[in-house]
Chain A
């Protein structure tokens, strides 16, 4: 039936090739129009099932708070002053981008802390502060601080680990105090303003978000878009990057970088676009060279391009009609079609030119293709498309769309090859005939032979048992490798190397003990927000928590804290300047402080608290091995205090006391903090427009994308708030779903392919034989990757269906041709079909292989997977199948 129709079609194509091409053009235009209706959904979240709780919640939060994905600016300079100045400049310039920037935060509201500081501290902390702040006189204050260090840190290394940043900040502030005291040695008085600065640093803390080495500062940009708005996110971050680049050009001694998921997506897009050009060019060059070498056909690249472009247009047209959108996954269908679509063309042309060389006219040669390779081409395409269509059964939208788009694409490429290619070949033949006639020559079709294929396969089918045993042994070795194959869950390893936005994630982890991205949820009351914030803050996996409760504690908390704050206030208020401290006693307490800082540094060293060690060592003059290589600034302060005049010490102590007392009294303000006391931008960031919901943002201590296999942060946060959502939660869920559904899809595909092959061959032996190259190709590919320690990634797994398709195609073509040619035909099958398989392997392998050199590491991983998978599929097919067929003949 099909033969009859196809014969008529071929006859029509020979007689009226332009009609066919005209009709194809109309169909292509129609599909192009349909393709133009495709909606691009290119974000990670677009791939998630839209009813997934993390997605639903995220979208709700985006509506309430504008965005959940901050862009982080990281400013590094040679000094604290430069870093903070440049942070201010960057923040001001970025704020001007009203279209993209809602707000930029780069300072902590120290004035607010001055007015309400103690009401913001937890009751437990207030009890601790009550001990430290009981007397604002210099000597009692240092004594109390020493007691606190010993009780809280030296006796509890675990506490020191938890509070590393806080302890490091304290050490830094004490360094400023020590240096100021050190100046007393000169006998010159220190101005009250200078003393005030020191005391402000000790009591109010930092104004900027500074790293512990004080050379790096952060600014947080709240964009007007979310990472879910692909176009805006890309354009917006590009504009921000432009400003940052200009600032960098103007400030050679410093550097500003941007990071956060929005920036990574922008960088990802730019790099992927550059790399896509590379694969297209690489594939084209390889295809050109091979076609010229084999068929002496200069127009081959155009033909391949034509088949692929038309096939992809048909595919996207069908996708536009049936699916309506193109996600990040399904856009990859174009890449897979480049790998598979050309294969049908190769098999077609190979048999066609062989027939032409044998003297058949174009029409007969096309019919020979139908007889000798047609069924295998169709069967190969159908089984591969079915493999992809099975993804429709997974109930995971991204995978369903991907499977449908690739499945339709394969059928489109098959359709273009079967129905347009004959007319093009006929027209080409007519043109060559005319040209040859004008020159008085005859057309000599050419089809090169690859004798090396027989040289490879000959020993295999001559000694089939040895071949099979050898393959079994190698399979055993490869299975050993499969056991070692890992899955790299560091998502940043799929990004381009050297991308600043990616590297800054590590910098954030290292210098700020937190990730640039985190989770977010809402609380229904201030009490809930505060309680959950404190619970989260206790978790070791959490690097930071923010909510309005940082500025506006719940009334119940304020009520609990008020007596403690009042107590501190009344104690401090009753204190008066106790006069000049006994210098020997003060020096002794400063030496004790030095001892405490040294011991904290030692504990920090044992606990691996690098930031704390740096601060302690810098202050006490130790090098990384603990040798005294510089002055101990605290001991210098002790000496200065011992040696200074009573007057100078009196002035200093007086200034210290009055500022410390003023600051504590101001901070110990027991009045209720009200909503209107909070800065509007902070209110907007954490409170929903109707004032009923309170956002809580949680940041991981570790770089979340680097440690996706470590789910402890997400689990910990979910144990306190199961509804917490955000990019890390999507990515985790996405990896889980892809893993689960991918395995399901693969299992289903294998079953359906098996059934299809069985129906086609009606022979279990041939069916299993056709599946063998694909199965072994997977084992060998995974084994090779396992042995060379190359883990799979979320991107490289996208290549696995391609290996499935090509592996099956190779087996089907060889077995199908063998069945046509009959027993003993292995040399002919290897020479003819083997050549086509070699060509399809070479084009796909080299085309995708060019990805190995891509900047985007995910593409590079895809390149390696395709090289190993397709290469092994070819070798196994060409060596093992003829050998087994030989054995079956016996």
Chain B
């Protein structure tokens, strides 16, 4: 298996359950693009295929705007290996949060947090998966594993445009091993199988969170979204994630994703 199902860790944030990621343009996506007869499962598999990368390293800028309008801009280094199995985020800016790191192992089932100020590494409880990551509008499970076809069932609602992009519009309900949302709606590009938008639902009558993916660029022969915008529709807070640098298929040692390495400043 040369290419495993790997989320680009950098984009873990947006990518996780929604499967938004770069896509290999040499893949089968384009061939299927014009085929409107795909089943939901086939579309989800193609999304999973489109996300498949072996490893990645990148730099991202995160801007959080809270409900009160306060802004926090941060930068982080991100690493991934073995698909969604190993992901590491390390804050680099501003000075106040420099060195804070999050390590997610086993598809995000195991989460470790390191704070250089206290020099403590803490393993977060499993229920933390549903919680917000460091005050952003993304949850750990948003950043967690991909495997859309494994984690969701659903139906095709229609063929629509999201922005200027022709998309499949799907309604998906998590399988038992899926995330905690009651359902999601996704808009998948019909020619590249990149997810352009996700609406997240809890038990309410309206979606409570929305992810918009934009600025899709060809990087190292892959279509890669460069901007992710998550809006909490209930609370009014929002988080931008922008890819500043990204490289794929890099050689990353397993030891990088260890609890001990977290303490590396």
Contacts and interface: CB of A to CB of B under 8 A. Distances in A.
A710 interface: yes
A609 B65 CA distance: 11
Contacts of A156: 128, 131-132
B67 A626 contact: no
B68 A598 contact: no
B71 A608 contact: yes
A608 B70 contact: yes
B234 interface: yes
A510 B68 CA distance: 8
B235 A625 contact: no
A154 interface: yes
Interface stretch (B41-49, B94-102, B150-158, B255-263): B94-102
A541 B115 contact: no
B118 A161 contact: no
A509 B70 CA distance: 13
B115 A602 contact: yes
Interface stretch (B4-12, B119-127, B160-168): B119-127
A606 B72 contact: yes
Contact of B72 (A608, A624, A626, A712): A608
B125 A701 contact: no
A156 B128 CA distance: 6
A701 B234 CA distance: 13
A603 B134 contact: yes
A605 interface: yes
A124 interface: no
B236 interface: yes
Interface string A589-631: 0000011001100111111111000000000000011110000
A626 B95 contact: yes
A604 B134 CA distance: 9
B234 A541 contact: yes
A625 B122 contact: no
Contact of B64 (A541, A602, A606, A716): A606
A328 interface: no
Contact of A540 (B127, B128, B234): B234
A712 B236 contact: yes
B135 A606 contact: yes
A333 B133 CA distance: 56
A155 interface: yes
B100 A602 contact: yes
Contacts of B135: 157, 161, 603-604, 606-609
A633 interface: no
Nearest to A626: B96
Contacts of A701: 67
A608 B68 contact: yes
A150 B113 CA distance: 12
Interface in B46-95: 64-68, 70-72, 74, 94-95
B235 A540 contact: yes
A133 B76 CA distance: 40
Contact of A702 (B68, B72, B74): B68
A155 B102 CA distance: 12
Which among A540, A598, A610 has the greatest number of chain B C-beta atoms within 10 A?
A: A540
A161 B132 contact: yes
B183 to A, nearest CB: 19
Interface residues of A, number: 37
A142 B185 CA distance: 45
B117 A602 contact: yes
A540 B66 CA distance: 12
Interface in B174-191: none
Interface in B189-226: none
Contacts of B100: 602
Contacts of A540: 67, 234-236
A710 B235 CA distance: 11
Contacts of A624: 96
Contacts of A541: 234-236
Given A606-B74, A606-B97, A606-B134, A626 B117 contact: yes
Contact of A625 (B64, B95, B115, B120): B95
B95 A155 contact: no
B74 A155 contact: no
Contacts of A602: 96-97, 100, 115, 117
Interface in A133-173: 150-151, 154-159, 161
A605 B70 CA distance: 10
A702 B125 contact: no
B98 to A, nearest CB: 9
B120 A599 contact: yes
B124 A155 contact: yes
Contacts, number: 98
Contacts of B133: 157
Main secondary structure, interface of A, reads helix
A393 to B, nearest CB: 35
A595 B74 CA distance: 22
A710 B74 contact: no
B96 A625 contact: yes
A505 to B, nearest CB: 14
Contacts of A510: 68
A100 to B, nearest CB: 34
A456 B25 CA distance: 64
B134 A157 contact: yes
A627 B98 CA distance: 12
Given A595-B120, A608-B64, A155 B125 contact: yes
Contacts of A605: 72, 96-97
Contacts of B97: 602, 605-606, 626
A873 to B, nearest CB: 39
Interface string A709-736: 0101000100000000000000000000
Nearest to A159: B131
Contacts of A607: 64, 66, 72, 132, 134-135
Contact of B117 (A150, A598, A609, A625): A598
Given A541-B234, A625-B94, A598 B132 contact: no
Nearest to B62: A606
Contacts of A710: 236
Contacts of B127: 155
B2 to A, nearest CB: 37
Interface string A556-571: 0000000000000000
A594 B115 CA distance: 13
A608 B73 CA distance: 10
A539 B236 CA distance: 12
A608 B65 CA distance: 8
Contacts of B74: 606
B131 A712 contact: no
A632 to B, nearest CB: 11
Contact of B132 (A158, A595, A608, A626): A158
A601 B83 CA distance: 33
Contacts of B113: 154
Nearest to B98: A626
Contacts of A625: 94-96
A610 B68 CA distance: 10
A157 B234 contact: no
B250 to A, nearest CB: 27
Contacts of B128: 155-156
20 contacts: A154-B122, A155-B131, A161-B132, A541-B235, A594-B118, A598-B115, A602-B117, A603-B134, A604-B135, A605-B72, A607-B132, A608-B65, A608-B66, A608-B71, A608-B135, A610-B70, A625-B95, A626-B96, A701-B67, A716-B234
Interface of B: 64-68, 70-72, 74, 94-97, 100, 113, 115, 117-118, 120, 122, 124-125, 127-128, 131-136, 234-236
Given A604-B135, A605-B96, 8 more contacts: A155-B127, A156-B132, A161-B135, A509-B68, A540-B234, A599-B118, A606-B136, A607-B135
Interface of A: 150-151, 154-159, 161, 509-510, 513, 539-541, 594-595, 598-599, 602-610, 624-627, 701-702, 710, 712, 716
Top 6 A-B residue pairs of the complex, sorted by shortest distance between their CB atoms: A607-B135, A608-B70, A626-B96, A608-B66, A595-B118, A606-B135
